[in-house]
Amino acid sequence: MVQQSSRLTYDPALIREQLDAIMVEAVPIHPFERPLDRQVLERLLPEYLAMSIAFPYLQAAAQRDLALHHIHAGMDFTEAEEITLVVGSFLVADETAVNSTLMASGPRGLPDILQTRRRFHSALLRQDIQRLLGEATDPRFSDDTKFYLHRLLDGLSSMDMVTRVATMVSFEAHAERMINGLWERLAEVFTVDRSELAYFHAHVGGDDPAEQYHVAMTGSMITRTLEVTDLPELCRAVVDAYHLHSDWCGAIAGIPAQQGASSL
Ligand SMILES: [Fe+2]
Ligand SMILES: [Fe+2]
């Protein structure tokens, strides 16, 4: 990893490109890029739903320790901390459909954000799962999913800026790949028009999919929050976090970890 990170320069677009390459190198084949049979997908979907439901709560909770730290120390917040707050807040607003509602209806549409079971991204996913499985499904928080969500919160709320940024950057980059992979697998196994799967279409479908902008936004945080001397450590932390996300996908698909974060 030291060799890879030494290739980095401090140009935002180049850093993103190089980090993307490092993440793909770390996980050449994502668990959802392998064939998955119907039984595996049926078992996996309630776990995936659990993550989708929990994520906005975790991203919101990620500000808690930082806020208390500053309050107790009587210290101002830094600009870098504000940047991780605004990006995290955007992601929460996105998951809870505040952004799409306001873009569609303007401020007059604000009361519509209360329709959480129709509008949250997790609500779209619940509808897709019902369409696929023919019945409503509850989220399943297995030990693997509990472990992942705890570790994810640790990373998102880390007081160490490199870990905090690496977790956010890797989560969005991984989300794009994970959602694409799962959409492909579901379309292969279930007799469904893939464009009718609203959760997947909203993230990675259509002419102008939203997820690419999340990846770009979290990527542009890097040069606004970290020093050039942080970049080698950022590379290590991004790979570590990417394995965390990908290993969870492997665990819920019943595929052993390709390379655990502990081996780094
Ligand atoms: Fe989402
Ligand atoms: Fe996203």
- Residues 208-237 pLDDT 10s: 888 888 888 888 899 999 999 999 999 999
Q: In the chain, where are the structural domains located?
A: 2-27+36-253
Considering only residues 39 and 207, tell me which one the structure prediction assigns the higher pLDDT.
39
pLDDT at position 11 is: 82
% of the chain at pLDDT higher than 70: 94
Q: Measured in angstroms, how far is the CA atom of residue 74 from the centroid of ligand 2?
A: 33
The ligand that comes nearest to the alpha carbon of residue 171 is: 2
- Residues 87-127 pLDDT 10s: 999 999 999 999 999 999 999 999 999 999 999 999 999 99
Question: Considering only CA atoms, which of 95, 51, 116 is closest in space to residue 246?
Answer: 51
- Would you give the DSSP letter of residue 28? S
d(CA 167, CA 164): 5
Q: Measured in angstroms, how far is the CA atom of residue 211 from the centroid of ligand 2?
A: 5
pLDDT at position 16 is: 87
Instruction: Place 258 in a pLDDT band, splitting at 50, 70 and 90.
Output: low
Q: Measured in angstroms, how far is the CA atom of residue 121 from the centroid of ligand 1?
A: 5
Question: Considering only CA atoms, which of 133, 112, 121, 130 is closest in space to residue 54?
Answer: 121
Q: Measured in angstroms, how far is the CA atom of residue 88 from the centroid of ligand 1?
A: 13
- Residues 15-53 pLDDT 10s: 888 999 999 999 999 999 999 999 999 999 999 999 999
How distant, in Å, are the alpha carbons of 66, 91, 106, 127, 245 from that of 198?
35, 18, 22, 8, 23
Checking if the pLDDT of 264 tops 80, the result is no
Considering only residues 143 and 2, tell me which one the structure prediction assigns the higher pLDDT.
143
d(CA 65, CA 26): 30
Residue 148, class by beta-carbon neighbours within 10 Å (0-12 exposed, 13-18 middle, 19+ buried)?
A: buried
Q: Measured in angstroms, how far is the CA atom of residue 189 from the centroid of ligand 2?
A: 25
Which whole number is the average pLDDT over 124-137? 97
Checking if the pLDDT of 172 tops 60, the result is yes
Helix (H) or strand (E) holding 27: none
How far is the first Cα of the chain from the last one, in angstroms, to the nearest whole number? 9
pLDDT at position 9 is: 58
CATH code reported for the domain at 2-27+36-253: 1.20.910.10
Residue reference for tokens 């793909």: 24
Q: Measured in angstroms, how far is the CA atom of residue 109 from the centroid of ligand 2?
A: 23
